[in-house]
Structure 1
Amino acid sequence: MSATNVGTDHRIDRARITALIPHQGAMCLWDEVLDWDAGAIRLRTTGHRASDNPLRSDGGLRAVHLCEYGAQAMAVHGGLLASAAGGAAPPGVLVALRGVQLHVARIDGLAGDLVCEAERLVAFDSSQQYGFRISHDQVLLAEGRAAVVLQPTTAPEQGRP
């Protein structure tokens, strides 16, 4: 991440995060933005330990769910960029995961924070691709790339549904 930050505040709390993304309540997986700039974001969470984490099944939280954590990091970054430009980010649909490597089987038993670093690799008006790395106590848990197609936000023409 470059030393120049697009936003005026480096740390951003959960309340602001939920104002930027469609994920609400327990489905908002990130607690805090640690730093961000035009090309990347770094976030942290303790939610992987929460018994009400909506991604849990059979009493645990599997490492494959770190892909959702990476995708939400993209959404938060897009929301921050759009907000800094005076607008709102369009909703996106995750369409592809590539090069995903999971280095653990489960994450629910990890005592410390999860930290995600996500870097915008490609950005167009209609799609984006990010690389993400998620770690715990500086040990890499998962990495990969995610692609999102952005939904149009224009209103329908008058007289058309």
Structure 2
Amino acid sequence: MTVLLDRAGLAALVPHAGAMCLWDELLAADETTVHVRTRRHADADHPLRRDGRLAALHLIEYGAQAMAVHGGWLAKTADGAGGARPGVLAAVRDVALHVERIDDLAAPLECSARRLVANAGGWMYEFRLHAGDRTLATGRASVILAAPA
């Protein structure tokens, strides 16, 4: 699969800096969907690890950051500047975690997310995180966007 943006390109699109920028590659994006990939979940110095483990609960943050990547990519393709308006994760719904932890996965972690709603006040997406053919988590998340400056 072709890489549209590498880690440096993704970092320019999202507010997450340094090690908290969780995705390494943008593989696909269009008006409603995004597909990203990373191998950083196996890093011993991952910033979300506790007691040497990375819990599946953190997949919600991965899903939310995939949404941020999509928003930033849309802003960049619309005006060339990149970076979406800042937002706050407001709600998660119907989250199903199919593993207990993700630090022990050998395969790259991937997320496919689809925007269900977009308006001036925010976004709602559904997401699926997987490693190879194995589904790790699914759910929906909503973001409330900051008022335009």
TM-score (norm 2): 0.95
Deviations 1:108-156 (A, max 9, x none): 00011001000000001111000000001111000000000000231xx
| Code of the aligned partner of 1:61 | L
Q: Secondary structure at the match of 1:146?
A: strand
Task: Provide the C-alpha distance between the structure 1 equivalents of 2:3 and 2:52, rounded to a whole number of angstroms.
Answer: 35
Verify: 1:95 aligned to 2:90, yes or no. Answer: yes
Mapping of 1:107-126 within 5 angstroms?
107-126=102-121
How many angstroms apart in 2 are the aligned matches of 1:76 and 1:48? Answer: 17
Q: State how far apart, in whole Å, the 2-side matches of 1:79 and 1:10 are.
A: 16
Partner of 1:144: 139
CA distance in 1, matches of 2:121, 2:91: 14
1:36 aligns with 2:29: yes
RMSD of aligned alpha carbons: 1.1
* Aligned residues of 2:3 and 2:25 also touching (Cα < 8 A): no
Q: Structure 1: how far apart are the matches of 2:130 and 2:37?
A: 10
In 2: Cα distance, 1:53 partner to 1:130 partner: 25
Amino acid at match of 1:54: P
Question: Corresponding residue for 1:72?
Answer: 65
Please state how far the C-alpha of 1:10 moved relative to its aligned partner. Answer: 5.8
Which position in structure 2 is the counterpart of 1:159? none
Report whether the alignment pairs 1:47 with 2:40.
Answer: yes
- For structure 1, which runs of at least 5 residues remain unmatched after alignment? 1-8, 155-161
Q: Where does the alignment leave 5 or more consecutive residues of structure 2 unmatched?
A: none
- Give me the whole-angstrom Cα distance separating, in 1, the residues matched to 2:3 and 2:84: 19
Which protein has the larger Cα radius of gyration, Structure 1 or Structure 2? 1
Distance in 1 of aligned mates of 2:102 and 2:20: 16
Structure 1-normalised TM-score?
0.88
Q: Residue type matched to 2:73 in 1? A: L
Structure 1: 4+ residue segments shifted above 2 A: none
Following TM superposition, by how much is the alpha carbon of 1:59 offset from its aligned partner in structure 2, in angstroms?
1.0
Give per-residue Cα distances to partners, 1:41-91, cap 9 Å, x unaligned.
Answer: 000000100111111111100000000000000000000001111144100
1:10/1:36 contact within 8 Å kept = no
In 2, Cα distance between the equivalents of 1:151 and 1:58?
35
